[in-house]
Structures are given as C-alpha cells and as structure tokens.
Amino acid sequence: MGYLCGMSLNLKVDIDPRSGFCFGVVQAIRRAEEILKKEGTLYCLGQIVHNDEEVKRLQKAGMITVTHEQLTEIRGQKVLIRAHGEPPETYELLRRNGNEILDATCPIVLKLQGRIKHSEGQGESILIYGKANHPEVIGLMGHLEGNGIVFKEFEELDLDTLPDRVTLYSQTTMSIEKLYAVRQKLEEAGIRVLLKDTVCRQVSGRKEEMQAFCRIHNVIIFISGVESSNGRVLFEACKHVNPQSYKISSVEEIDPSWFQPGNTVGICGATSTPMWQMEEAREKTLKL
C-alpha cells in the first residue's frame, strides 16, 4: 500500500538499547569533550569515529581533524590518538614536534598491539585477518618489523609460500565466524594454526542480540557511518534476519515508502553510532 501523503502512518518505533558506541569510542569521545570544554581546541589524527555526523558535532565544538600528511606541520599542540591506535612512528613524530599526546587507543587494541609484538619476538609467522587500509591494522603492522601478512579474503593468501605453522590474529571488528572458517581452511591445507582470537566481544556479541531485535520489528533502520567496518558487519546481520532493513548515515535518508501503516520500526546502529543520532531518527520516524 505504501505511504499516503497527509496520512499518519501511526508507527511504533523502538531504539535497540544495546546499540551505540562501544567502550573504546566512548572513552575517546569523552576525552575529546573534556579538552574541548576546557580549551576550545583539540587536534585529532584522523576521524575520531567513523560517523560523519558525530565528527561534525565535535568539529563545531572546536575539534580539528588532521591527516597523517598534515601531522608534520602540527607543533606544540594537544593531539588525540583515536581508539583505532597508531604505529610507533606516529608517537615519535608527535614528540619530536613538541606535541602533547592524548592517547585514547582502545584498551583492547592496545592489548592486541602488545600481543602481536610479543609473537613476533618469539619468531612466529603472523597472519592478520583484516583490512590492510584500516587504521587499526595499519597501527598493528607498525608494531611489526615486516613479519606480518594482512588478508581480507582467504583467497588472497598464497598457500605455497606460507610456512607450515602460523599464528593467526584478527582485526578486532572482523566477523568471528569468518575468522574460525579461515583457521579451518588453513588447517585443511596442511598448515598448523595457533589462533589468537582477538575479535572484540563488544562487537561480535552484538550480532545475535541485534538479530533478535530485528526479528520482532517489521522494519529496521540501521544507522552507521559510511566508513564503519563494524557497521557493514552488523548491517549484514540485520539484513539476514529481516529483509526490510535499511542502512542510512543521516536521518535525511529515511524514506516514508519503507513503511506501512501500523508498522513496528526498530532503530539500531554500529559501535560508532551515537545514541543522539538514533534518537533523532526515532523522532523523525514517529512524525511520518
């Protein structure tokens, strides 16, 4: 039937209470807000979170986002390292230029950096299941001295050149099911695998909870930044159990044609999605 102009759809709209920022992102944003409130200006290396709307909010408060290329020109300033972490050379450059480092690297990522460095020190051959251009993975590779192979798909690996024993790590936001599938395929190829399961449980644990939320609603609005790796994984999980799931990055993208009168609508989001954005989406949807 679809949306009829001038008629209220009388929708019932719920927000998933378990959606929203993970601990690492909460920590980074709180740190930024404290400095901005006191001083009015703060530099952040890269987007503090993969959510354009949240970045815009913090920029209005005085946050200045800089790239690695621009970092060489920053001197004598407070610079925030976001939750994804950075390679050692970033810290060296910041100190050399007299900057004060505010390190908001997620504790889970910090632990992973230490574990991967220890593995290399033990002479282990390291595989990292992740995205080579993701800031977390770039940071991880910076803690190695070349002894690491990054891959997103199993087919990217050259099995003929791999050693007969490897240590398998994962970017924290990758699919836990796919990580274990990679281990199985490696073992089937005759390679011994020491698996270091480093998938963040705040991310992987949300999948089943979010799918349960999606099953009890007619329509799902999933909010996530375009660049959010975690957002892509969780949205796939939503779509799998509820085909009427729609992914947006801002409330302006909500389309009335998605709904039928009396629908129950569930709003959820990635670990980089702020609660205020989900509340904004709820208010807009209720007005349809």
Catalytic residues: 136
Rounded to an integer, what distance in angstroms lies between the CA atom of residue 208 and that of residue 216? 13
Per-residue 3-state assignment (H helix, E strand, C coil) for the chain: CCCCCCCCCCCEEEECCCCCCCHHHHHHHHHHHHHHHHHCCEEEECCCCCCHHHHHHHHHCCEEEECHHHHCCCCCCEEEECCCCCCHHHHHHHHHCCCEEEECCCHHHHHHHHHHHHHHHCCCCEEEECCCCCHHHHHHHHCCCCCEEEECCHHHCCHHHCCCEEEEEECCCCCHHHHHHHHHHHHHCCCEEEECCCCCHHHHHHHHHHHHHHHCCCEEEEECCCCCHHHHHHHHHHHHHCCCEEEECCHHHCCHHHCCCCCEEEEEECCCCCHHHHHHHHHHHHCC
The CA-atom distances, in angstroms, between 47 and each of 42, 214, 263 are: 13, 29, 36
Quick one: which of 192, 246, 252, 251 has its CA closest to 217?
246
Residue 60 C-alpha from the chain's centroid: 23
